[in-house]
Amino acid sequence: MKLTAKIKNELFDVLIEEKLLNNYLIKIKNKEYVVKVLYTLNEYLVLSINNKINKVIFLDIKKRYLKILINNEYIDLIIDHAFYFKLENILSIAEKKEKNQLISIRAPMNGCISRILVNIGDKVKNGTILMYMEAMKMENEIHSNTEGVVTDIKIQINTNVTSDDILLLIKN
Amino acid sequence: MIKKILIANRGEIAVRIIRTCKIMNILSVVIYSEIDKGSLHVQLADEAYCIGGPHAQNSYLDMEKILKIAIKSSSDAVHPGYGFLSENYKFAHLIEAHGLIFIGPRAQSIKQMGNKNKAREIMINSKVPVIPGTKVLNSIENAIEEASNLNFPLMMKASAGGGGRGINYITSSNDIYKSFKKTQDEAFKAFGNKDIYFEEYISSSKHIEMQVLVDMYNNIMIFPERECSLQRNNQKIIEESPSCFISKEIRIKLIETAMKAVKAVSYIGAGTIEFLMDKKNNFYFMEMNTRIQVEHPVTEMITDIDIIELQIKIADKQSIKLYSNNYINYNGNAIEARIYAENLFNNKFIPSSGIINYLHLPGGPFIRIDSGIHHNTNVTSYYDGLLVKVIAWGHNRNIAIKRLITALDETNIVGCQTNIPFLIKVLKEQNVQLGTYDTCSIDKMIEQKEQSNSNLCMINTIIASSVKQILIKLQINNNINIGWQYSYYRKK
């Protein structure tokens, strides 16, 4: 099986051979790694890579990026040619920002919208505070990640939202 | 005689109080919201009552309902823990008006100290040094006039504030125009009181606090200081005791000042007096917390005194003379790290929620765990995100820090994201290792965006994600389990 992985704009070709059940030989940039799967439960995985133990937690596997916590280090990763994955949206969609596109701002967490600072038609910049969300006793700022015009606000004050709900749309 | 206590709280502090109740042969009653049905405090208590919906207003903050349960369960006393109703004098008053014991100070003291500006005045009158500042500001004109007597930058603070909320920073008189109304509105929205005042902002300061216990017979215990300078957004994340920064002479001064403060309000119960200390070792009264603190375990670890136990004894009108001789002996150093459900991505901290589907808490010598979670706990956005406190003890500071890092590294919480990697990074910082950190250290750390992702880590990540893809493809995600002690959970 062949894959291409992308970390911080650097591409890596990965060649994976299954040797035994749960034993793999993985080649990256002409180097070989002997990999054994020791344990897995949901998003938690323990691997031995050349006999060194690696504890891995997959975070946000649903989203465009694959975000991984490996041995207490955060890494974000985009996988191309992920033909085994059902998750087309894991591909690097986020990289493409075309003109006149509707961009949705999503809730980064579960919580309650406490204040909305913009109206439909407002021009916003990258980083503008759009609204405040209350979660775990704290007020959190929701920022715009693009420049454009607010075209739709999907929620009202004091509504509870869950992570990834669309809060508003911005046309850039 | 207290024989049964209702604990009006949740999470790790409820569990903490239940433990002491059990040791003292006191029955524990807990309340829970619908969403907390399966939580740890409910499982450990002797009795548990569901009191309403997940919103705190409908459950943990509903005074009338809590009172009813306390009477229904024939509890003798109510322990409020921290947060929620712990510093609400109306609640203390309500409990006492119905013939029950409120485990905390008198309602009057809570009221006095709850208003930060009032507390300032009381301390000024008792000759306790306070941060240069003002009384309550009436108008923008008044604010500008008052500000001219102070040194910028300033903090515009809500009188009724707390927990780092309702504070705006003022760097010039222009900012006053911008912030005056805003701070008033925020204060009113958050605390129901729009009074605000100025305090000078002391940069690169240290946050030092003194734990006190006072009984009805005027026996006063003042514990060695705790240092809680490692904060993010005015929220403490790592605390230690004693502070390596404080000499014996300063400690004696701090104890004397704490004594003055306690006497100024004729305080009874457990409380904490918070001070800011500048570079020249001048310290100033900041506020007094009239409840048990999150970080009380570091004090317990070095003094061998169960603070909750004494809190209950004081409420039970017992004397703490046996324990007290004003100066308390301590042994070694203790340091605590707070594990929060937080998503720290791109140097942003976003609360995280989810169901914990894998949990491994650390052990080892001189490690204490105060946890409120267990396997399958639902971490929701309704409540504070504090999951676990890990406390390490050592005969010196370095070994305590090493033990803490080892324990944190071993901790494994899967299902919601945590700040563990960040805590480890902070503890490995040179400033922290040497004890030269201050209240700005963490913000500075966050600013310096680290690009530490080493090549090895990248390769490992690629391997891990590739393997994950294969596992998903083969749908054998949950079928591999070779020699692991937690296999029991999987069979469900």
**Would you call B358 and A58 a contact, using CB atoms and an 8 Å cutoff?**
no
pTM: predicted TM-score of the whole model, two decimal places: 0.85
The whole-angstrom separation of Cα B362 and Cα B152 is 46
**Contact predicate B38/B48, CB 8 Å:** no
pLDDT at residue A34 in the model: 93
HEC states along B130-146?
A: ECCECCCCCCHHHHHHH
Please indicate if any CB of chain A lies within 8 Å of the CB of B282: no
Distance from CA of A157 to the nearest CA of B (A): 14
Q: Which residues of B touch A106 (CB under 8 A)?
A: none
Asked if residue A94 has pLDDT above 50, the reply is no
Q: Does residue A54 have a pLDDT over 50?
A: yes
Q: Which residues of B touch A5 (CB under 8 A)?
A: 462, 465-466
Q: Is the pLDDT of residue B357 over 50?
A: yes
Model confidence pLDDT, tens digit, residues B41-53: 999 999 999 999 9
One-letter amino acid at B118 equals K
Please determine, for residue A83, whether its predicted confidence score (pLDDT) is greater than 60. Answer: no
CB burial of A60-83 (b: ≥16 within 10 Å; e: otherwise) equals bbebbbbbbbbbbbbbbbbbeebe
Tokens of B287: 């506020």
pLDDT bracket for residue A61 (50, 70, 90): low
Residue A122 pLDDT exceeds 70: yes
Q: What is the pLDDT of residues B193-249, one digit of tens each?
A: 889 999 998 888 999 999 999 999 999 999 999 999 999 878 899 999 999 989 999
Same domain, B196 and B214: no
Dihedral class, residue B127 (left if φ above 0, else alpha if ψ from -120 to 50, else beta) = left
Do B305 and B166 fall into the same domain? Answer: no
Inter-chain touch A79–B482, beta carbons under 8 Å: no
Token pair for B240: 């230690």
Least confident segment among A158-162, B8-12, B273-277, B481-485 = B481-485
Residues B141 and B99 in one domain: no
Of A12, A31, A109, the CB nearest to B352: A109
Angle between helices B116-125 and B107-114 (to 10 degrees): 100
DSSP string of B434-471, one letter each residue = HT---TTHHHHHHHS------HHHHHHHHHHHHHHHHH
CA distance B107 to B90: 7
Beta-bridge partner residues of A16: A26
The pLDDT value given to residue B346: 63
Residues B275 and B393 in one domain: yes
Cβ <8 Å between A44 and B341: no
How much is the pLDDT for A92?
34
Same domain, B284 and B423: yes
pLDDT at A44: 87
> What pLDDT score does A79 carry?
58
CB contact under 8 A, A73 and B452: yes
Which domain CATH number covers B441?
3.30.470.20
DSSP string, B320-369: -TTT-SEE----SEEEEEEEEBEEEETTEEEE--EE--EEE----TTEEE
Is B229 domain-assigned?
A: yes
Q: Which residue has the higher pLDDT, B307 or A141?
A: B307
User: Residues B427-483: pLDDT tens digits?
Assistant: 999 999 999 999 989 988 887 765 555 667 778 888 888 887 777 766 554 444 433
Note the pLDDT tens digit of each residue in B389-443.
Answer: 999 999 999 999 999 999 999 999 998 889 998 999 999 999 999 999 999 899 8
Q: Which of B10, B226, B291, B403 is catalytic?
A: B291
From chain A, pick out residues whose CB is under 8 angstroms from the CB of B404.
none
Tokens of B163: 């927990």
Give the pLDDT confidence score for residue B492 in this predicted structure. Answer: 34
Q: Identify all chain B residues contacting A49, using CB atoms and an 8 Å cutoff.
A: 460, 463
Which pLDDT belongs to residue B328? Answer: 81
The better pLDDT of the pair A143, B100 is held by B100
Q: What is the DSSP string of A78-132?
A: EEES-TT-S-GGGSGGGG---TT-EEEEE-SSSEEEEEE---TT-EE-TT-EEEE
> To which residue do tokens 């309702």 refer?
B166
Query: Closest approach of chain A CAs to the CA of B478, in angstroms?
Result: 5
Mean pLDDT, residues B117-134: 93
Taking a C-beta distance cutoff of 8 angstroms, is the pair A107, A167 a contact?
A: yes
pLDDT of residue A84 exceeding 50: no
- Yes or no, beta carbons of A7 and B465 under 8 Å apart: no
Above pLDDT 70, what percent of chain B?
A: 92
Q: How far is A65 from chain B (nearest CA, A)?
A: 11
Residues 68 through 97 of chain B touching chain A, CB cutoff 8 Å? 83
How many whole angstroms separate alpha carbon B104 and alpha carbon B291? 6
Task: Kindly state whether residues B166 and B228 are assigned to the same domain.
Answer: no
User: B452 lies in a domain?
Assistant: no
For residue B111, pLDDT over 80 is answered with: yes
Contact B426, B352 (CB under 8 A): no
Between CA B297 and CA B11 the distance in angstroms is 15
Q: Do domains A2-95 and A102-171 have the same CATH topology?
A: no
Nearest alpha carbon to residue A158 among A111, A88, A124: A111
What's the CA gap between A148 and A99, in Å, rounded? 10
Chain A and chain B share a number of CB contacts under 8 A equal to 168
Nearest residue to B123 via CA among B253, B286, B256: B286
Q: Are residues B164 and B90 in the same domain?
A: no
The answer as to whether B453 is a domain residue is no
What pLDDT is stored for residue B452 in this prediction? 53
Grade residue B388 by pLDDT with cuts at 50, 70 and 90: very high
| Residue A88 reports pLDDT greater than 50 | no
Residue B123 within any structural domain of the chain: no
Question: Distance (Å) from the C-alpha of residue B331 to the closest C-alpha of chain A?
Answer: 32
Identify the pLDDT of residue B491: 37
Cis amide leading into B153 (omega within 30): yes
What's the pLDDT score for residue B285? 94
User: Residue B443 and residue B448: Cα distance in Å, rounded?
Assistant: 9
Instruction: Sort out which chain A residues have CB atoms less than 8 A from B10's CB and list them.
Output: none
Predicted confidence (pLDDT) at residue A150 exceeds the cutoff of 60: yes
The answer to whether residue B480 neighbours chain A at the CB level (below 8 Å) is yes
The verdict on residue B430 lying in a domain is: yes
pLDDT at A68 over 80: no
Of B328, B342, B322, nearest to B417 by C-alpha is: B342
Shortest CA distance to A37 belongs to which of A19, A49, A26? A49
Q: Are strands A138-143 and A111-116 parallel, antiparallel or unpaired?
A: unpaired
Residues of chain A with C-beta less than 8 angstroms from the C-beta of B424: 72
So what's the ipTM on this one?
0.70
What are the CB-based long-range contacts (under 8 Å, 24+) for A64-71? A64/A89, A64/A90, A64/A91, A64/A92, A64/A93, A64/A94, A65/A90, A65/A94, A66/A90, A66/B465, A67/B345, A68/B461, A68/B464, A68/B465, A69/B417, A69/B421, A70/B457, A70/B460, A70/B461, A70/B464, A71/B457, A71/B460
Nearest to B482 among A38, A42, A57 (CB): A38
Read off the pLDDT of each residue in A12-41 and give the average, rounded to a whole number. Answer: 87
**CATH code: domain of residue B11:** 3.40.50.20
* Cβ–Cβ < 8 Å for B133, B198: yes
Mean pLDDT confidence for B124-148: 91
Which residue in this structure is represented by tokens 């090895």? B456
Closest among A16, A73, A52, A131 to B409, alpha carbons compared: A73
pLDDT at position B372 over 60: yes
Q: Tell me: do B163 and B185 sit in the same domain.
A: yes
Q: Judge whether B351 is closer than 8 Å to chain A, CB to CB.
A: yes
Residue A149 has pLDDT above 50, yes or no: yes
Predicted confidence at residue B213, as pLDDT, reads 95
Residue of B nearest to A23 (CA): B467
Predicted pLDDT at A74: 76
Same domain, B442 and B478: no
B381·A111 Cβ contact <8 A:
yes
Question: Which fold is adopted by the domain A102-171?
Answer: OB fold (Dihydrolipoamide Acetyltransferase, E2P) (2.40.50)
Which of A22, A100, A126 lies closest to B468 in space, CA to CA? A22
Q: How far is CA B51 from CA B21, B59, B294, B309, in A?
A: 22, 6, 24, 26
Mean pLDDT over residues A46-72, rounded? 78
Residues B381 and B439 in one domain: yes
Name the residue type at position B42.
Answer: V
Kindly give, in sequence order, each residue whose CB lies less than 8 Å from that of residue A114, ignoring residues fewer than 6 positions away: A131, A132, A133, A134, A139, A157, A158
- The yes-or-no verdict on residue B77 having pLDDT over 60 is yes
DSSP state of B35: G
Residue B469 and residue A59: Cβ atoms within 8 Å?
A: no
Domain that holds residue B227: 206-447
Contact A45, A36 (CB under 8 A): no
Q: Quickly list DSSP for B382-404.
A: TS--EEEEEEEEESSHHHHHHHH
pLDDT digits (tens, 9 = 90+) for B308-354: 999 999 999 999 987 766 568 899 999 999 999 988 766 678 888 88
CATH number of A2-95: 3.30.700.30
Distance of CA B204 to the CA centre of its chain: 21
Which of A20, A25, A28, A41 is the best substitution to test chain B (most B C-beta atoms within 10 A)? Answer: A41
Number of compact structural domains in chain B:
4
Please say if the pLDDT value at position B255 is more than 50: yes
Domain range summary for chain A, segments of one domain joined by +: 2-95, 102-171
Residue B291 annotated to the active site = yes
Q: What percent of chain A has a predicted confidence (pLDDT) above 70?
A: 81
Determine the Cα–Cα distance for residues B428 and B431; give it in Å rounded to an integer. Answer: 9
Given a contact cutoff of 8 angstroms between Cβ atoms, the answer to whether B278 and B66 are in contact is no
B420 and B379 within one domain:
yes
What number of other Cβ atoms are within 10 A of residue A140's Cβ? 20
Residues of chain B in contact with residue A12, where contact means CB-CB under 8 angstroms, are 458, 462
- The C-alpha of B137 sits at a distance from chain A's nearest C-alpha, in angstroms, of 25
For residue B118, tell me if it sits in a domain.
Answer: no
In angstroms, the separation between the Cα of residue A48 and the nearest Cα of chain B is 10
Cβ count near B446 (within 10 Å): 16
> What gap in Å lies between CA B165 and CA A138, rounded to an integer?
9
Q: Would B99 be classed as within a structural domain?
A: yes
DSSP B53-102: -SSGGGTTT-HHHHHHHHHHTT-SEEE--SSTTTT-HHHHHHHHHTTPEE
CB contact under 8 A, A66 and B465: yes
